Amino acid sequence: MQVQIAALCDSAADYNGKLCLLGVFDTIVAGKLPAVHPQCSVALRLTYRREKEGTHSLQISFLDAEGKAIVPPVETNFEVPVSTGVAPVASRNLILNIQQLPFQTEGAYSIEISIDGKQKASLPLQVQVLPGNS
């Protein structure tokens, strides 16, 4: 299973298998700290071969620069559907909507994405304070 697209964005939707992203970003600018980002989404597009059909586990972790979780990791299972066509490769979109994401400090963060216990993607995220507001 491969991660074809991994993005942090303002919002995402799946329209009949099409992954629609709005406002992809990698930097949050806060007025002051601690800060809370009100709403965002992690959007994934996975590609897989028929032999990967079935139930798989997904874990998404939000980590600070020291590798410590800023919120509990999101863990869930998802189904890779049985293909009905003749194509050897299929795709699946997964979207995680997040509200009230807290940040205590300025600096580098990351979003780590694992499938079946193996890291598949890492998204960098930078948190900055508006100049003159620190």
Set out the domains of the chain in order of their start, with CATH numbers: 2-129 (2.60.40.10)
| Pairing outcome for strands 35-49 and 89-103 | antiparallel
Is the pLDDT at 104 greater than 90? The verdict is: yes
pLDDT in tens, 34-87: 999 999 999 999 998 878 888 999 999 999 999 999 999 999 999 887 666 667
How high is the pLDDT of residue 132?
73
Is the pLDDT at 23 greater than 90? The verdict is: yes
Higher pLDDT, 79 or 103: 103
DSSP type of residue 88: S
Tell me what percent of the residues of the chain surpass a pLDDT of 70: 95
Tell me what percent of the residues of the chain surpass a pLDDT of 90: 80
The DSSP secondary structure of 25-63, one letter per residue, reads -SEEEESSSSEEEEEEEEEEEEEEEGGG-EEEEEEEEEE
Give the position of tokens 């299973």.
1
Is the pLDDT at 133 greater than 80? The verdict is: no
- The CA dihedral of 22, 24, 91, 80, to the nearest 10 degrees, is -90
Q: Can you read off the two tokens belonging to residue 50? A: 């028929």
- The CA dihedral of 56, 61, 66, 68, to the nearest 10 degrees, is -100
Q: What is the mean pLDDT of the chain?
A: 92
